[in-house]
Structure 1
Amino acid sequence: MKNNRLRVAIDMDEVIADTFAAQRLWYLDVHGYNWNDEELKGCHLGDLAAPEHAEAMQSVLHAGAFFAELGVMENAQDALKQLSQDFDIFITTAAMEYPASCGPKFQWLQKNFPFISPLNIVFCGHKNILAADYLVDDNVRHFHDFQGQGVLFSARHNQKVKWSPRVSNWRETVSYLTAQRLAKNP
């Protein structure tokens, strides 16, 4: 019997893991940067920092341990629990950008999303390899050549990016995906 459940691939950083807040705090604590929200709109933190400070942040990310203690995005846990009742959920992270992050990211997922099977966790490079109906991600570059529908999860760095559909938070994400499921399987 064929499984008729829709598949949803969900990114980690800036979608379920609050990488931005941790990086912002690091830049403040280590280098004294205290950017306001308006300065950050549409920017990556590394674009605003001195090149040597951005390079130091990249070294921290490449070491990997940084990813183990990130905060969880608001309502992400409840939303994924709810969605997992009607969808096949896969956590999909482009971890190959920072290979040493795989272990810390996996531990973070086990701690914060224990209801997601380890078999539904995908560490990859390009996300166009994913066989899913939807990809919820904060970066539109992951939608290129993806065969399903990309759903842009709003983040400070993508505020100037034009993409539809776009969701601003996990409540909107659940509403959007539920409406899509009902439209396809009335």
Structure 2
Amino acid sequence: MARIAIDMDNVMADLTQHLLRVYEQTYGAVIDPQQLNNVPEGSAFPEGVAIQLMNTPGFFRGIPVMPGSQEVIKALAEQHEVFVVSAATEFPLSLAEKLAWLNEHFPFISWRNIVFCGSKTIVEADYMIDDHDKNLRYFKGTRLLYSAPHNLMITDYKRVNSWEEVAAWFAANEVATV
């Protein structure tokens, strides 16, 4: 049985699309998703706006689920020890919202398998699926980079572009039969 650490934002939860939608609803302006490619997360928005939106009560509660994530994570959790690991303390309002979101969309994940932290350098697992180099860089296990606009130029890790690719990778590597 393997231990798999999975990030939330832009991995399980479609933070990018939600941020674009909330920005448009709040400011009446549309940002072309292509403008997000290869720039640091949040940098395509006017100065400080992305942080301001993410610090708004209710923001994290309304993020859509990443397509395919529920089915694949459930299948992985049936065979392995799956932990959701989120650097949620960066946005203190997100803690309760992320927990409620997980309980709604991933009810099969026990509260014991949810880790809210500041730095993921303490995470010990066999596998980590994350969208940020800063979280994968010091991880000692197998690192899977989940594609997001801000990481398209990173080539240091095995890249997965969808949850279907995650399932296929684990199946091909005989880690799980998904």
Paired with 1:94 and 1:126, the residues of 2 have a C-alpha distance of 6
Larger Rg: 1
Paired with 1:81 and 1:98, the residues of 2 have a C-alpha distance of 27
- TM-score between the two structures when normalised by the length of structure 2: 0.91
SS at structure 2 position matched to 1:47: coil
Q: List aligned pairs for 1:1-186, cutoff 5 A.
A: 5-44=1-40, 46-51=42-47, 55-182=48-175
Q: CA deviation at 1:40?
A: 2.3
Paired with 1:158 and 1:33, the residues of 2 have a C-alpha distance of 24
- 1:116-165 Cα offsets, whole Å, 9 max, x none, are 11100000111121120011001111012212122100012211222321
Instruction: Give the counterpart letter for 1:27 in structure 2.
Output: Y
- Judged with a 3 Å threshold, the aligned counterparts in structure 2 of structure 1 residues 127 and 64 are, in CA distance, closer, same or farther, namely farther
Q: Note if contact 1:139-1:152 (Cα within 8 Å) is conserved in structure 2.
A: yes
* 6-15 or 94-103: bigger deviation: 94-103
Q: CA deviation at 1:43?
A: 2.5
Instruction: Give the counterpart letter for 2:45 in structure 1.
Output: A
* 9-18 or 39-48: bigger deviation: 39-48
Paired with 1:102 and 1:68, the residues of 2 have a C-alpha distance of 10
Q: CA deviation at 1:63?
A: 4.0
List alignment gaps of at least 5 residues for structure 2: none
- TM-score between the two structures when normalised by the length of structure 1: 0.87
Q: CA deviation at 1:36?
A: 2.5
Q: Note if contact 2:2-2:175 (Cα within 8 Å) is conserved in structure 1.
A: no
Paired with 1:28 and 1:45, the residues of 2 have a C-alpha distance of 17
Return the structure number with greater helix share: 1
Count residues in correspondence: 176
- Judged with a 3 Å threshold, the aligned counterparts in structure 2 of structure 1 residues 108 and 182 are, in CA distance, closer, same or farther, namely closer
Instruction: Give the counterpart letter for 2:140 in structure 1.
Output: Q
Paired with 1:104 and 1:33, the residues of 2 have a C-alpha distance of 26
Aligned residues with identical type, % of pairs: 34
